[in-house]
Amino acid sequence: MVIDDEPLAVEMVKNFILRTPFLQFTASYTDAVDALNALKESPVDLLFLDINMPDLDGMSLAAMVPPETRIIFTTAFKEYAFESYNVNALDFLLKPINYARFLAAAEKARQWFGLNTATHQVSENNAEMKRNTLFIRIDGELKQIDINQILYVSGLKNYVMFYMENEQRPLVTHLTMKAVEDILPVNDFMRVHRSYIVALHKISSVDRNNTIHIGKEYIHVSDSYLDSFNKYIQANQIGL
């Protein structure tokens, strides 16, 4: 779905969608309130959403869409870029948008849905089955990695870096931290910072300042995640 109060912008994004084989155009709206009502009745997988709109701006609408709908923001105002990541947007396209940049964002969405679809299929086929490997796209190729070899994952804007026990350098791919958080086993990994997810069984120590030592890195647990992390530590602690 495309939501933008500018008809020409709607038409441009619609044409980009129609040019992209793995996307299917569903609907477009120039009125955000009408679009929200339609989304509640018939959710879509992916929403291309303008930010600066009358009556209901894109940031406010993003907080109200169904949880299964992922968002790629489209706007002429780059100052919204940082705020867009606070609502777990998959990407941020700055107008005027060219097709190459659009396609890169769409590919990121396809990767995100591919990872999550694979996870749901595993759960449906065998609730006890544990995922041991993942495929991530590195320099245009899909590389299979062993989940048990992941030390931690760090994020920077549109990219995440997988730090592995058997790799000298991190594996960098075009994804969001939210997508990685959703795919990794919740019993083995925990988000401890806006920019870090750690493998719980790889933690060497935790100091009194709530700083984790893992591999060669020291990662501070931020206040937003401290309560969950402390509960994990207390549940696995022996002695005083």
Q: What is the pLDDT of residues 203-226, one digit of tens each?
A: 999 999 999 999 999 999 999 999
In a domain, 123, yes or no: no
pLDDT at 136 over 90: no
> What are the tokens at 29?
């709206």
Direct distance between the N- and C-terminal alpha carbons of the chain, in angstroms, rounded to an integer: 55
Distance CA 240, CA 230 (A): 14
> Best-predicted range by mean pLDDT among 50-64, 128-142, 212-226?
212-226
**91 and 184 within one domain:** no
The mean per-residue pLDDT over the stretch 180-193 comes to 89
Domain of residue 181, CATH code: 2.40.50.1020
Reduce the DSSP state of residue 50 to 3 states and report it: strand
**69 and 39 within one domain:** yes
Residue 40: closest CA among 88, 1, 73: 1
Is residue 74 within 8 A of residue 55, CB to CB? The reply is: no
* Cis amide linkage into residue 96, ω under 30° from 0: yes
pLDDT at 122 over 50: no
Distance CA 147, CA 162 (A): 10
Predicted TM-score (pTM) of this structure: 0.51
> What are the tokens at 75?
């706007």
Number of domains, the chain: 2
Average pLDDT of the chain, as a whole number: 85
Reduce the DSSP state of residue 176 to 3 states and report it: coil
In a domain, 8, yes or no: yes
Q: Which domain holds residue 219?
A: 130-235
**145 and 48 within one domain:** no
